[in-house]
Chains A and B, each alone.
Chain A
Amino acid sequence: MKILPVILIFLPFLAAAACYLIRNHIIRHAIILISSGILMICALLLTTQVPFVFSLGSIFGINFREILKIADFLLLFIILYFGVRTRNVAILVLAAFQIVLLGYLEFFMPQPVVPSPDFYCDFLSLVMVLIICIVGSIICGYAIPYMKRHEEEQNTLVSRQPVFFFVMLLFLGAMNGAVLSNNMVFFYFFFELTTLCSFLLIRHDKTEKAVKNAARALWMNSLGGAFFIISTAALLSRTGTLDLQVIIHSSGETNLILMPIALLFIAAFIKSAQFPFQSWLLGAMVAPAPVSALLHSSTMVKVGVYLALRIAPAIKGVFLTQCVTIFGGFTFLAAAALAVGQTNGKKVLAYSTISNLGLIFACTGLNTPEALTAAIILIIFHAVSKALLFLCVGTIEQRIESRNIEDMRGLYTQMPMTALITVVGVIAMIMPPFGMLLGKWMAMEAAAGFLIGIIMIALGSALTVMYWARWAGILMSDPFAGKFKMERQPLLTWASLLSLCAGIGMFSILSPWIYRWLIVPALATDYTATYTADYGILRNAFGVFAVLPLAILAGVGFVISILAVNSARKSRIVMPYLSGLQTGEPRVFKGPMEQMVTAEARNYYLASIFGEDKLTAWINLGALVLITLLVGGTL
């Protein structure tokens, strides 16, 4: 039995239990940090062992599968319980449905004859494990000072941090389990466990809104779970196995398994909050910042795209794969358009997450080695960049007590370091030579031959630049001439923010090597990777992205620009142009009757075009049509 995957899955469970039971906060923090550290090390050590398969066998004489079966039902009953408590019919019905179907699957359907390995770890799983363990650990570290402050703000009498960290760590284990599972039922269990964790964390603050949004997240994700279990049952009856690898590679029977695969895609869409299921992710933004960073941008929603990437080889060359591209491209464009109309910073991040996940789906649907490379690169860099941005917004929110982008105008004067880090995060989303742009470049080159796809991706990426650039710009919007002075934040906050920043930079520079070490083998089983990565230059027959040379040039440019900033400090600082009426105060001018008037300039949000009330209904309709097309095409 392999020890590393066992640690990766079960250590978080143990640590979670310890967090819950031990009420001393110092010991709890120590447990969190130590277990995070161990997880990171284990994930890195795992790189030496992939690919491998393994099964758990038995613990204390009881077959592990039996334990999992019980846990599965227990989980569904817990969801049912929450359905009763929140008096939500949708949750109740869906949970009951899943219990019945799971019971039917476990007890009445013929079980697979050939025993299959429970867990399977290849390079794709490894990429996910690395993201979960490294980014997840950093976010958990960030959560320690954040939650302390959060409870002070909320005037919580009895600290609910034990529960919070219990769920957070539990979630890490569940995620590792999900991406390592090979048995569909195992996958289903961990898939549902992440749903439950998400639900618990969204309603953590117990405000009316939080409870309501959590219930919505639960029923929507239960719908995803229901699709998943239907698909599992259908696959079992049609192929006679629960082994994911076997199912994917049963290409002879493609037409037989197409329908269940389509349902699996819908489960993935729901998990990744694609239209028309986006509302659960938008509602989930009431949760504390670390939750948004960990669950709702960098890891949990990635399970959906991971699942899609996993099953992509099974749909190569089928109509379904084109539907996925169109659907993903549509989501990319639509979510970017909605993000343009938002003033709420966290909502912009949420829409941007949906949008990028859509792009990843689009790449998955293109189903060429270039496109899948793009998808994996986007997964990696989106996880890191978006985690950073969510943590930045969390830090900002605790200081200025607002999420509104307009209130972040001139944040540089208040919290210079955080503002700078946020700008770095934004730049990493849209500019070369950072990884996100590398992924987008690959995606566009891969989609260039697919008319609808390239049009939607081109429009979506232009909208993306718009909503990021204006946000980064206004953070610095204030006259500034003084010395740079770092604001005070807890050490762990700085450590996590800066390590994510450093991570983005380092991974971006190293992306050709990441490509060679992780992505080429990740695609090797079903595809031949086409890019070569010599001298830090990614190239294939029709495109070239000189990552390392560009990074060096960008670095030189950065140094020049920073030197320019230093010399500009010596220049005369004047007030911005206000038609000659400016006073000593920025933005204030002398109006009629010697009255002081403050000049207001706000961002263009173009709400008349990109407002939620204008677009959401149509987008949901469009997405429903596309999903119908996707399912109908498999009939």
Chain B
Amino acid sequence: MITKRIHHLRAKIMTHCRKNSPWLLHYDCGSCNGCDIEVLACLTPVYDIERFGIINVGNPMHADILLATGTVNLRNKKVLENLYEQMPFPKVVVAIGACGLTGGIFREAYNVIGGIDKVIPVDVYVPGCPAKPEAIIDGVVMALEKFDKISRMPNAGMPEASGEQRHD
């Protein structure tokens, strides 16, 4: 009984901390930079996402959330995979913009794969061309809900528990 309550409390604290300290990694898979500018706009005093403990980090090893923009082409597909692999669990992926979701107007181009989710599993889709900062923040908040689910599982947050499947 006690252990269960301790476990419950631990999961609660952990969820709280995870939801209040999401560190973002932002990767541009061949976007026109429209979405990227909007992502960075979130950090400015106008939106100030550090209010929610969000930090934009430059290193997948420190990141919790991968924000990916752009169409994904044959060249940067591997990079996207690598970055995703170097992120420690638990992690979520937010695909941003029309290109990130489907390939957008470049969908038919010869070198375009067309969508982040063709390469790595995506948890949240944020549409828009470009996506508005408010929408991006909304997407991140939705992604945080995923942590809620992960923390409540036994052996929380570890690869086998989070039900991730590697796409190779």
Question: Does A touch B (CB under 8 Å) in the complex?
Answer: yes
Minimal beta-carbon separation of B1 from chain A (angstroms): 29
Complex contact A581–B86 (CB within 8 A): no
Complex contact B85–A574 (CB within 8 A): yes
Per-residue A-contact encoding for B47-73, CB less than 8 Å = 1, 0 else: 000000000000111000000000000
Complex contact A577–B78 (CB within 8 A): no
Residues 76-125 of B at the A interface (beta carbon under 8 Å): 78-80, 82-83, 85-86, 88
Complex contact A580–B27 (CB within 8 A): yes
Residue A590 interfacial (CB < 8 Å): yes
Give CA–CA (A574, B85) in the complex, Å: 8
Residue A582 interfacial (CB < 8 Å): yes
Minimal beta-carbon separation of B59 from chain A (angstroms): 6
A582 CB contacts on chain B under 8 angstroms: 82, 86
Minimal beta-carbon separation of B160 from chain A (angstroms): 12
Complex contact B60–A577 (CB within 8 A): yes
The chain B residue sitting closest to A590, CB to CB, is B78
Give CA–CA (A582, B59) in the complex, Å: 13
Minimal beta-carbon separation of B145 from chain A (angstroms): 25
A574 CB contacts on chain B under 8 angstroms: 61, 85-86
Give CA–CA (A574, B60) in the complex, Å: 11
Give CA–CA (A574, B86) in the complex, Å: 7
Residues 574-597 of A at the B interface (beta carbon under 8 Å): 574-575, 577, 579-582, 590
Per-residue B-contact encoding for A543-585, CB less than 8 Å = 1, 0 else: 0000000000000000000000000000010110101111000
The chain A residue sitting closest to B81, CB to CB, is A580
B27 CB contacts on chain A under 8 angstroms: 580
Give CA–CA (A572, B166) in the complex, Å: 15
A581 CB contacts on chain B under 8 angstroms: 78-79, 82
Give CA–CA (A115, B158) in the complex, Å: 84
Minimal beta-carbon separation of A567 from chain B (angstroms): 14
- Interface size band for A: under 10
Minimal beta-carbon separation of A209 from chain B (angstroms): 47
The chain B residue sitting closest to A594, CB to CB, is B75
Give CA–CA (A464, B80) in the complex, Å: 42
B83 CB contacts on chain A under 8 angstroms: 580
Minimal beta-carbon separation of B87 from chain A (angstroms): 9
B61 CB contacts on chain A under 8 angstroms: 574, 577
Give CA–CA (A198, B82) in the complex, Å: 57
Identify the interface centre among B27, B60, B86: most chain A CB within 10 Å of its CB: B86
Complex contact B59–A577 (CB within 8 A): yes
A579 CB contacts on chain B under 8 angstroms: 79
B59 CB contacts on chain A under 8 angstroms: 577
Give CA–CA (A580, B61) in the complex, Å: 11
Give CA–CA (A574, B82) in the complex, Å: 10
Minimal beta-carbon separation of B151 from chain A (angstroms): 19
Per-residue B-contact encoding for A484-499, CB less than 8 Å = 1, 0 else: 0000000000000000
Residues 150-168 of B at the A interface (beta carbon under 8 Å): 159
Give CA–CA (A579, B159) in the complex, Å: 23
A575 CB contacts on chain B under 8 angstroms: 86
The chain A residue sitting closest to B159, CB to CB, is A572
The chain B residue sitting closest to A575, CB to CB, is B86
The chain A residue sitting closest to B82, CB to CB, is A580
Give CA–CA (A581, B82) in the complex, Å: 7
The chain A residue sitting closest to B76, CB to CB, is A580
Minimal beta-carbon separation of B118 from chain A (angstroms): 17
Contact for A580 among B60, B88, B159, CB less than 8 A: B60
Give CA–CA (A577, B63) in the complex, Å: 13
B85 CB contacts on chain A under 8 angstroms: 574
B86 CB contacts on chain A under 8 angstroms: 574-575, 577, 580, 582
The chain B residue sitting closest to A581, CB to CB, is B79
A590 CB contacts on chain B under 8 angstroms: 78
Give CA–CA (A572, B60) in the complex, Å: 14
Identify the interface centre among B27, B60, B80, B82: most chain A CB within 10 Å of its CB: B82
The chain A residue sitting closest to B87, CB to CB, is A574
Minimal beta-carbon separation of A596 from chain B (angstroms): 13
Minimal beta-carbon separation of A179 from chain B (angstroms): 55
Give CA–CA (A268, B59) in the complex, Å: 55
Minimal beta-carbon separation of B57 from chain A (angstroms): 11
The chain A residue sitting closest to B84, CB to CB, is A580
The chain A residue sitting closest to B25, CB to CB, is A580
Give CA–CA (A580, B63) in the complex, Å: 13
Give CA–CA (A582, B159) in the complex, Å: 21
B88 CB contacts on chain A under 8 angstroms: 572
The chain A residue sitting closest to B61, CB to CB, is A577
Give CA–CA (A191, B25) in the complex, Å: 67
The chain A residue sitting closest to B78, CB to CB, is A590
Give CA–CA (A580, B75) in the complex, Å: 12
Minimal beta-carbon separation of A391 from chain B (angstroms): 38
The chain A residue sitting closest to B88, CB to CB, is A572
B82 CB contacts on chain A under 8 angstroms: 580-582
B80 CB contacts on chain A under 8 angstroms: 580
Give CA–CA (A68, B59) in the complex, Å: 73
Minimal beta-carbon separation of B3 from chain A (angstroms): 22
Minimal beta-carbon separation of B31 from chain A (angstroms): 15
Give CA–CA (A572, B79) in the complex, Å: 19
Minimal beta-carbon separation of A570 from chain B (angstroms): 11
Give CA–CA (A590, B75) in the complex, Å: 10
Residues 210-244 of A at the B interface (beta carbon under 8 Å): none
Give CA–CA (A580, B84) in the complex, Å: 9
Give CA–CA (A572, B86) in the complex, Å: 10
Per-residue A-contact encoding for B129-166, CB less than 8 Å = 1, 0 else: 00000000000000000000000000000010000000
Minimal beta-carbon separation of B58 from chain A (angstroms): 9
Give CA–CA (A303, B27) in the complex, Å: 63
Per-residue A-contact encoding for B11-48, CB less than 8 Å = 1, 0 else: 00000000000000001000000000000000000000
Give CA–CA (A575, B83) in the complex, Å: 11
Minimal beta-carbon separation of B19 from chain A (angstroms): 24
A577 CB contacts on chain B under 8 angstroms: 59-61, 86
B79 CB contacts on chain A under 8 angstroms: 579-581
Give CA–CA (A330, B77) in the complex, Å: 58
Give CA–CA (A580, B28) in the complex, Å: 12
Minimal beta-carbon separation of A555 from chain B (angstroms): 31
Give CA–CA (A476, B60) in the complex, Å: 23
Minimal beta-carbon separation of A612 from chain B (angstroms): 38
The chain A residue sitting closest to B59, CB to CB, is A577
Identify the interface centre among B59, B79, B88: most chain A CB within 10 Å of its CB: B79
Give CA–CA (A582, B61) in the complex, Å: 13
- In addition to A572-B159, A580-B60, 9 A-B residue pairs with Cβ atoms within 8 Å of each other are A574-B85, A575-B86, A577-B59, A577-B61, A579-B79, A580-B82, A580-B86, A582-B82, A590-B78
Q: List 18 A-B residue pairs with CB atoms under 8 Å apart, sorted by A's residue number.
A: A572-B159, A574-B61, A574-B85, A574-B86, A575-B86, A577-B59, A577-B60, A577-B61, A577-B86, A579-B79, A580-B27, A580-B60, A580-B80, A580-B86, A581-B79, A581-B82, A582-B82, A590-B78
State the A residues within 8 Å of B (CB). 572, 574-575, 577, 579-582, 590
State the B residues within 8 Å of A (CB). 27, 59-61, 78-80, 82-83, 85-86, 88, 159
Sort A-B residue pairs by CB-CB distance and give the 7 closest, nearest first: A580-B79, A580-B83, A580-B82, A574-B86, A582-B82, A577-B59, A581-B79
